Structure 1
């Protein structure tokens, strides 16, 4: 039985936990992130709901399945205490935030407090912004591992899903040789530029982080030389087979933008756009707008693959929510990729992390990917 208690006994490893409870709230409502109080207010005004706590509990439940005793040190309330209690842990609270939502300053303060204690691993729940705050406070004093819960997760410190992050933490804390430490990139995007359809990425440093190739994600990789012609041809192939009176939802990214270019319609690089009968019917749409459009049409989802990570859903395209995917249907997902991008994955499976375990399981299996004119390949999807 796992346990931790206020006496901070020294039996077994110690886990530090930080939860950013507002992480990811901007995703489904099309806000590209939740950095800043004004963005959080806007997300709530649009009907966004918190999801970080659910993701924290998913990771902690997997971690709690170990039989080894463990101490958990965390922050009060929504910063970790509530989720620990829900997962069956009895945490030691070492930081209390002011009434209201915890801020980035609380994240940094809790991270500093945890780094000053003998913790073996700092598990944080959030996105790239949270990873950046934690790294700034901790440096290389303690290994870090992220539970993916944000909108932007381009850094290499995250598990491929909440459950896999919990499993990876479990392996590392049990001192398994299957989960050694590596130097993992911590990256973040400028959210203001991101909302203005520009990608300005910056490397903030490297963290020591547990790694197992099936459980940890890699940093996002850019396009490779020679990909442009094949991806453009693949996009033209998709356009050639578009059906009349059907709605096509074009996911974010340069790959799917080529579909819009082939149609000659406007598009947003980092949003989800909609096309009907060769014409644009919506730009940078949120989940509810997508559902309203899809309600009256046979709907197809067109997505690319996140380079380096192999992600299809759950990284930067949360507007394509489980509800949107189910409305379209699992057999109406069109994937476009260059063959070079697939080869660079080193035969690893594609990833889905929609936040809905049942849907992720249904998406798992094999999917056909359009790679060029009259060319396609079949690749495995693994939740």
Structure 2
């Protein structure tokens, strides 16, 4: 929920602040999107849901008649409600638990899933560094349908614990929290995020910065996405950017630091814009993970053709494709296909899926 307003997550008190800033919960919409797709793909299934906004309402909107279990004890709902829901489902027991959220929700599910029932995450958080999520709600529906028809292998996948306070202070502090049994389809389930800046890559980043420098145009607003790759490039070009935020630079000067969606759009008013992003190492996402401030509105304002993807050859070697999951299916379709990526060795074409 906090992505577009620049909060980098909504664990704990940050959820209240996100709402005060005008953020809207993304999980309900993503849940409905997944369930509507599931109705198209899957055979008849018995769908259990926790009450009201924790599953029941979304299932009804998608056209299901869910079997409602458990009860909500307080408003707003908390992590304890998530854990109680998982405990209810494991006591039935169900064949599969599908949850919607980010890394924090994945940790709650893991804590409560003592029975080891297979799970699948539908991505709807800001931080999704864990390897338990489908690459999109649509992909999640396809995975669940395949599981229902023919079964799928189950693998133990990493659940990551990202320090949200450090994240908001532009420090990435992540550790392995544990593992969840996840139904697995290699092309449709994301991997765990990998850090990529090592000694070999530092040299590649210098080369990449030299290749990027001639394309920088005067008077153009450059929306610089998060990540160590873009930060290193910015610093090589004389710009001091945040590690995990989105910054806007014009003529070598930062005009918006750690900006939310609204500030980015204001900075783009009356001028041309470019978006510079790098794939998440090990996952391949260029939009929709960790950079939700670069919203569909921002991308459309700049133009799909003005999204500049940068990556070192080392990072690209670890990816089978690039991915987008902006939450806008029409925009995602426009972004998919072959795209140029600027690397330390020049431009290469890579498939966006």
TM bracket (short chain) = over 0.9
Mapping for residues 246-265 of structure 1, pairs under 5 Å? 246-265=220-239
Unaligned runs of 5+ in 1: 1-24
Structure 1 residue matching 2:69: 3-state secondary structure: strand
Q: What is the CA distance between 1:211 and its match in structure 2?
A: 1.1
How far, CA to CA, are the matches of 2:277 and 2:268 in structure 1?
A: 16
> In the alignment, is the contact (CA less than 8 A) between 1:265 and 1:280 conserved in 2?
yes
**What does the per-residue CA deviation read over 1:149-173, in whole Å, with 9 as the maximum and x for residues that have no partner?**
0000111110000110111011112
| 1:27 equivalent in structure 2 | 3
Residue 203 (str. 1) matches residue 176 (str. 2): yes
CA contact (8 A) 1:140 1:207 kept: no
Partner of 1:193, secondary structure, is helix
2:345 equivalent to 1:367: no
Q: How does 1:267-306 map to 2 (within 5 A)?
A: 267-306=241-280
TM-score when normalising by structure 2:
0.97
Q: Which residue number in structure 2 is paired with residue 376 of structure 1?
A: 347
Give the aligned partner of residue 84 of structure 1: 59
Deviations 1:253-306 (A, max 9, x none): 001102320232221100001110111111100000000011121000000110
- List runs of 5+ in structure 2 lacking aligned partners: none
1:228 Cα deviation after fit: 1.7
TM-score, length of structure 1 as denominator length: 0.89
Please list the CA deviations of residues 166-225 of structure 1 after superposition, one character each: whole Å capped at 9, or x if unmatched.
Answer: 11011112234xx31111111121000101111110111111111112211111112164
SS in structure 1 at match of 2:81: helix
Q: CA deviation at 1:140?
A: 5.2
Say which of 16, 25, 43 aligns to 1:50: 25
Task: Give the drift of 1:342.
Answer: 1.2
1:79 and 1:246 map into 2 onto residues whose CA distance is 44
Give the number of equivalent residue pairs: 352
Once residues 321 and 241 of structure 2 are traced to their aligned partners in structure 1, the CA distance between those partners, rounded to angstroms, is 29
Residues 122, 144 of structure 1: 8 Å contact kept? yes
Which whole-Å CA distance do the structure 2 matches of 1:289 and 1:164 have between them? Answer: 32
**For the Cα contact (< 8 Å) 1:33–1:150, is it kept in 2?**
yes
Q: Which residue does the alignment assign to 1:12?
A: none
1:144 aligned to which of 103, 119, 122: 119
Of residues 306-315 and 132-141 in structure 1, the stretch that sits farther from structure 2 once superposed is: 132-141
In structure 2, distance between residues paired with 1:99 and 1:207 = 28
RMSD: 1.3
Contact persistence 1:369–1:377 (CA under 8 A):
yes
Q: Secondary structure at the match of 2:47?
A: strand
Give, in whole Å, the separation in 1 of the partners of 2:259 and 2:306: 19
CA contact (8 A) 1:152 1:188 kept: no
Correspondence for 2:43: 68
User: Which has the larger displacement, 360-369 or 41-50?
Assistant: 41-50
Distance 1:294 1:264 in 2: 21
On the 8 A contact 2:43/2:148 being kept in 1, the answer is: no
Structure 2 counterpart of 1:16: none
What is the CA–CA distance in structure 2 between the aligned matches of 1:164 and 1:156, rounded to whole Å? 14
| Alignment correspondent of 2:330 | 358
Aligned structure 1 segments of 4 or more residues deviating by more than 6 angstroms: none
Match of 1:7? none
1:38-82 per-residue CA deviation (whole Å, 9 max, x = no partner) reads 211211121111221110011111222246321111211110000
Give 1:338-349 correspondences, 5 Å limit.
Answer: 338-345=312-319, 348-349=320-321
